[in-house]
Chains A and B, each alone.
Chain A
């Protein structure tokens, strides 16, 4: 049960965090100058976008859940199982955002789920 909660947090908080960070970075704009001083300015700009803070909070939650599950399970099991975030993303997109998830995308999601099932069954 504890592992299930950890996986749920990794998948849901992790996916939500990535989407928030993605949105924040689009608001910051394309990074063209990679000198350290410029990167610090980009980071400062990014931290002024509220989406970045929400994204970092969610990703931090997912990180601690990852630490928890890694204390119990092998990395070669844990990381592939977190790929279920693609299924969470597709379901969330369809039911919360009203997106039209194409048949091709469902096929990809099903392949991910099949792969995760194989990884879990591949336990020695």
Chain B
């Protein structure tokens, strides 16, 4: 395998990890925060109470772990790949979030919401398909 093919392979692999762990983390956080209840931090005592409930939730810690995995993959891929390439490639995460929310949290995703998610993915791809630099470097 030449170095270009190897670079593509590791880029695809890390983007796959990103679009898996990012949405999974968000869904786990959503599940955990529903257990915590609506956040109100108008007084310091309330803020401490909310924080202790958040930090006491195993689901939220799993979500944080998943998002850290996403973040590590994201940082690694950004060390060689362009932000303007990674951004549209990872847009599929919006569809993965809707799928996971539907199957893991039993959220009702209406047909209009599915269309909205697909339009967002399309928009992100169009944004990414533009010149990455329009100004002279400093």
User: Which residues of A are at the interface with B, using a C-beta cutoff of 8 A?
Assistant: 18-19, 21-22, 25-26, 28-31, 34, 39, 42, 46, 63, 66-68, 70-72, 74-80, 83, 86, 90, 97-102, 104-105, 107-124
Contact = CB atoms under 8 A, between A and B. Distances in A.
Interface residues of B, number: 57
13 contacts: A25-B78, A31-B79, A42-B76, A67-B39, A70-B30, A70-B33, A75-B26, A80-B117, A98-B135, A100-B135, A108-B127, A115-B118, A115-B119
Contacts of A34: 76
A76 B98 contact: yes
Interface string B96-138: 0110111001011111111111111111111111110011000
A80 B78 contact: no
Q: Which 8 pairs, one residue from A and one from B, show the smallest C-beta to C-beta distance?
A: A111-B123, A118-B116, A122-B113, A108-B126, A115-B120, A115-B119, A108-B127, A112-B123
